[in-house]
């Protein structure tokens, strides 16, 4: 099956500029996640969607970050305005529910990520 | 929310030796624990996972153990090979289906 698609792969912007990232999850995956991975650290959850609804955005800096998944498929993550500390890889992941195991949900499948450099 | 701690942050082993990475979690309701391998510049990829109703799982040279009472789980790699060199992340999934990751272990296998 096709994997999680993200674009662009790389982006360099100046501080205070805006940037947007796009994600297309694996077909049929109802849950979509955006993670921020700063160099040398583990992925940090920013926001979780279930279909087109937000399940958890408690760690999303809402003064500058926004995300949407209008039709329950593709998603965009926006930063406006960007700060130097936003330099990181932004990973999109998706998962789906099956009937196996406790909870019934699969692992998270990750995209290649977008490497953002803010200068 | 869930807090996952991972140790060590770096690990070097001789080829053929074993490697062990340990993680602890805080939310006793977490029910699924995947391990991901991330090579430089690539996406994290699942290598093994364990659910909360199982104490141990093995897949060839890789095994994972889970102690629910102590809230810790470990990754064991035996007969390490140079291609095992990568960053490994543990994660815990809570009942809200959110995944929380450890800080990663950079494993180097010395030929």
pLDDT tens readout for residues A16-25: 999 999 999 9
Question: What's the confidence (pLDDT) of residue A103?
Answer: 54
Interface contact A89, partner B, CB < 8 A: no
pLDDT at residue A100 greater than cutoff 90:
no
Q: Do A102 and B51 touch (CB under 8 A)?
A: yes
Nearest CB to B104 within list A33, A42, A105: A42
* Separation between Cα atoms, residue A96 and residue A50, nearest integer Å: 10
Nearest CA-CA distance, residue B66 and chain A, Å: 15
Phi, psi angle pair for A9, to nearest 5°: -80, -35
- Please list the residues that pair with B13 across neighbouring strands: B109
Instruction: Tell me which of A72 and A48 has the higher pLDDT.
Output: A48
DSSP state for residue A107 in the 8-state scheme: P
What stretch of H or E contains B86? strand B86-93
pLDDT along chain B (111 residues), means of 10: 94 98 96 96 94 94 97 98 98 94 97 96
Q: Which residue of A has its CA nearest to B93?
A: A107
Instruction: Kindly state the tokens that stand for B62.
Output: 């890789």
Nearest CB to A31 within list B32, B97, B100: B97
Instruction: Kindly state the tokens that stand for A56.
Output: 């958890």
User: Tens digits of per-residue pLDDT, A60-97?
Assistant: 999 999 999 988 899 999 999 999 999 999 999 999 88
Question: What's the confidence (pLDDT) of residue B21?
Answer: 98
* Chain pair A-B, CB pairs under 8 angstroms: 68
Percentage helix, strand, coil for chain B under 3-state DSSP, each rounded to 5: 5, 55, 40
Q: Do B49 and A107 touch (CB under 8 A)?
A: yes
At A39, the pLDDT band (50, 70, 90 cuts) reads: very high
pLDDT at residue A102 greater than cutoff 70:
no
Interface contact A92, partner B, CB < 8 A: no
Residue B55 in contact with residue B69, Cβ under 8 Å? Answer: no
Q: Over pLDDT 70: what percentage of chain A? A: 95
């Amino acid at each position: 099956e096709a994997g999680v698609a993200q674009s662009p792969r790389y982006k360099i912007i100046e501080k205070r500029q805006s940037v947007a990232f796009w994600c297309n999850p694996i077909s049929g995956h109802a849950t979509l996640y955006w993670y921020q991975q700063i160099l040398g650290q583990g992925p940090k959850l920013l926001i979780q969607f279930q279909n087109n609804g937000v399940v958890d955005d408690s760690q999303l800096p809402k003064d500058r970050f926004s995300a949407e998944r209008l039709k329950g498929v593709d998603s965009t993550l926006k930063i406006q305005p960007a700060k130097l500390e936003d330099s990181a890889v932004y990973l999109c992941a998706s998962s789906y529910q099956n009937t196996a195991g406790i909870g019934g949900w699969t692992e998270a499948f990750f995209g290649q990520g977008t490497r953002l450099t803010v200068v | 929310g869930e807090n996952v701690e991972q140790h060590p942050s770096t690990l070097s082993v001789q080829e053929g030796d074993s490697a062990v990475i340990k993680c602890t979690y805080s939310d006793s309701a977490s029910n699924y624990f995947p391990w991901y391998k991330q090579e430089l510049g690539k996406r994290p990829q699942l290598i093994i996972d364990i659910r909360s109703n199982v104490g141990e799982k093995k897949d060839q040279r890789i095994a994972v153990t889970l102690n629910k009472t102590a809230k810790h789980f470990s990754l064991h790699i035996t007969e390490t090979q140079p291609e095992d060199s990568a960053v490994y992340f543990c994660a815990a999934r809570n009942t809200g289906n959110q995944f929380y990751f450890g800080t990663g272990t950079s494993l180097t296998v010395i030929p």
